[in-house]
Amino acid sequence: MLERFVCPDGIEVPIVDCLKQCRLKDSLPCGRCLSERMLAAMAKQRPWNGVPTVTQLISGLRAEFLKITKPYASDPQSLAMARFGTNCHAALERDSTDDRWLCEKRLTDPTGTFTGQFDCYDTREHVLYDTKSYGSFKIASVLGIRAVKEPVVNQYTGEVERRSDGRVVRKTRFFEGLKDTREVTLQLNAYRLLLEANGFPVKDMRLELIVRDGGTWIAKSRGVEQNALMLRINRVSDVHIRRYLLTKARILIGSLEKNKPPEPCKKAERWGGLKCKNYCPVKQWCKEAD
């Protein structure tokens, strides 16, 4: 349960107190780190109603269990991009007024075990779309863009070029490697199952990517040249997706009923440990659960 914000000076403060009056109002240039409106929007969380969502099930279950059962704090800076993504979806939904588009609808699995809210479904072409706003580092990972530094060879002499101090001159070459689409593939296939179970056939799934830092030097240095692009997501076996979701739902619900944390999140769900180190808001409770 998100109950506190982390102030710019690192001190945690209850959200209700933060919204009532900023404790740093005399030391911040604008009297607040962000507007009350923005902070109130960031504080909104979907309450636990006993039925897990697709988003929860494709994440690490221990982290999701602790978010439901334990009070925690988050830095508004870490919530800003999530809020941007929510606003982006809302704007796209407002613009999709044609009856052709079905947007932001929450559907329930036929067994009643889990729910999911997809971004957009084209009722004419039967295509499921999901829009993500990522930084160029994440975009490069999803697209499988890899970089390698290669020596520059003089086209006339055939020799490796060197700087005045003797160092080899190198240039960056980009190539396509393994795409990191595990999470979005699980998510879109889960939404596909929900749509098909509710009478909406899905012929194709497409991930629409918006590059947050598109057009900048850092994005181009990572091989990301476009500001927005689309990627086709492969269909995964219905049996595999259904078993994966139902199994994780059973574990999460059972853990909550017993009030016992599930096993630690898997390596892929922990981003190899990076999420635990820098991004998980309930990491303090996770250590106590072991």
- Other CB atoms within 10 Å distance of the CB of residue 129: 21
pLDDT of res. 81 = 73
Q: How would you label 176-192 residue by residue, b for 16+ Cβ within 10 Å and e otherwise? A: eeeebbebbbbbbbbbb
Q: How far is Cα 15 from Cα 31, in angstroms, rounded to an integer?
A: 16
Q: In the numeric block, which tokens belong to residue 8?
A: 């710019």
Domains by residue range for the chain, with CATH: 46-144+179-289 (3.90.320.10), 145-177 (no CATH)
pLDDT of res. 190 = 97
pLDDT of res. 208 = 96
pLDDT of res. 241 = 96
pLDDT of res. 164 = 86
pLDDT of res. 93 = 59
The CA distances from residue 208 to 94, 99, 144, 227, 235, in Å, are: 17, 21, 16, 11, 16
Q: Which secondary structure element, helix H or strand E, spans residue 150, and what is its range?
A: strand 145-151
pLDDT of res. 95 = 61
AA letter at 7: C
Map residue 44 onto helix, strand or coil: coil
Model-level pTM? 0.86
Consecutive 10-residue averages of pLDDT for the chain (290 residues): 93 95 92 93 90 96 96 89 63 68 93 95 96 93 91 87 89 89 96 96 96 94 94 96 96 96 91 85 82
AA letter at 282: V
